[in-house]
Structure 1
């Protein structure tokens, strides 16, 4: 897949910032990350990172041109105001926000069925990797699922017979990312899937108390094209393609990371956000959406 000529010409003239992103240093082997306090003497995360200075462009104009979409670039930005004003109660998130997200994702993707399977609240001031209910922003380039772990999610969250039937047809995993206040610090950078090579991907273990998942870390590639959405508001959201089973014609994954915006104020409020991950199922023969 390639960027359209109009998109290429516009991208070169978009507002941009220069910032450092943390990539996995090449030759590190298979990194391991823990989602809970690891055993004594075991590091939370393995794999040395290296900071690379990149250009990150404002993606809003390209969204308006339909150039940055889930199936083209692997991510997009949408306007959407949640009916939930208070995200402090887990029960309200699961009851109200999950149902709202299901309807939104069904509308955006044209899918037949949506299954929301988890969410994460993040706060750059109070969040910590030690607190499962409030995490800190992740400041390394990564993707939440791989070609191995994504089908596992289907089997984890559907009855066995239905899971096997669903796995015969196209499905995806999408991250719905929403700020809880206007983002002035640690915004999210997203990499255009069309600029990623399979050689950039490094399978990485994500250790839970009861299982070991698999994510992707990324090594640096000068071809990567990065975007962000300045001062994203709570009535806006990002959609990230974490995985797509369709092998041809669409973005199958992307990469993302929080980063220090050099134009932001150090006195700005902390970044607060919620991300929600969902399985997206299409019926047999459903064509790609958003191309």
Structure 2
């Protein structure tokens, strides 16, 4: 087994020549004429609370069987300082913090209403983006996407629960599931799962996405949760509250900006911090009547 490298310095302990945007300088507005919420805030985040009976936690992806709760674990709400990434983006990268920011990214897809067009137009853009920006990447497989809308009848809404989409076991299972004929060879090399997240109706005013600096997250904070599909069972990670965790959001994200979220990394030199807890949250300074957030996240297996 490869000896793990020293744990990186958490980003909040690094200096930067670019000051963060303060709440007092929040003078920009969206198309509604409402001020875009910016600056560090204290927000309530939903963390993991273990099942009362001590059983293994689970969550049904689709409708659960009759008489069975959709999930058997609870929520532990904690007040957390969430710092603004805006103006200090250069402090963070995929290797040390498990997330990164990208700006000025164009797309030929604007509606995000038809599955066929998303796969034909947007998927190739995301694949190229990952190959161009992720160090060492030489092959990308996009295996699914989720569109979230803050409307009453939306199929998927923003998730206000701290989580990580994959665990080491479920990441390897993803490779075997999607590339069964090549899996054993691919699993011998480096493979990562990376989500590409962007708003569809930016700038984001409500339910922004918060991420934890992975260098401040302990393995003991993470709990595997059975992710039950109709035809198989995967695994996600719930996250326990720990005051040592440092949280961030990118205020007022636009349609030309991307957050890269690394959910797993097989490279043992960065694997201990190769996963980023994340959650939507209620920004206390979101103005009344602000447009609800719409977003798309594309999940990718990245090899090399």
1:289 maps to none
Structure 2, unaligned stretches of length 5 or more?
1-7, 23-38
Deviation string, structure 1 residues 257-281 (Cα, Å, up to 9, x no partner): 0000001023111110000000000
**Corresponding residue SS for 1:71:** helix
Does 2:181 align with 1:174? no
In structure 2, what is the equivalent of residue 6 of structure 1? 14
Name the CA shift for 1:127/1:174 in 2 (closer, same or farther; >3 Å). Answer: farther
Is 1:32 matched with 2:58? yes
Q: How does 1:128-139 map to 2 (within 5 A)?
A: 134-139=155-160
Alpha-carbon distance, 1:13 to partner: 9.2
Structure 1 unaligned residues grouped into runs of 5+:
129-133, 283-291
In the alignment, the residues of structure 2 paired with residue 6 and residue 75 of structure 1 have an alpha-carbon distance, to the nearest angstrom, of 16
Deviation at 1:248, TM superposition (A): 1.2
How much is the aligned-residue C-alpha RMSD, in angstroms?
A: 2.0
Equivalent residue, structure 1, for 2:46? 22
Q: Deviations over 1:115-147 (max 9, x none)?
A: 00000010122455xxxxx31111110000001
Is 1:112 aligned with 2:132?
no
Structure-2 change in CA distance of 1:22 and 1:10 (3 Å) = farther
Match of 1:72, SS? helix
Deviations 1:43-82 (A, max 9, x none): 122211111000000113331x3x2111111111111122
- The TM-score with structure 1 as length reference comes to 0.89
Give distance in 2, aligned partners of 1:76 and 1:13: 18
Aligned to 1:158: 179
**Which stretches of structure 1, 4 residues or more, deviate above 4 A after TM superposition?**
8-14, 26-29
Count residues with an aligned counterpart. 274
Structure 1: how far apart are the matches of 2:208 and 2:139? 30
Question: What are the within-5 Å matches in structure 2 for residues 11-90 of structure 1?
Answer: 15-25=39-49, 29=54, 30-63=56-89, 65=90, 67-79=91-103, 80-90=105-115
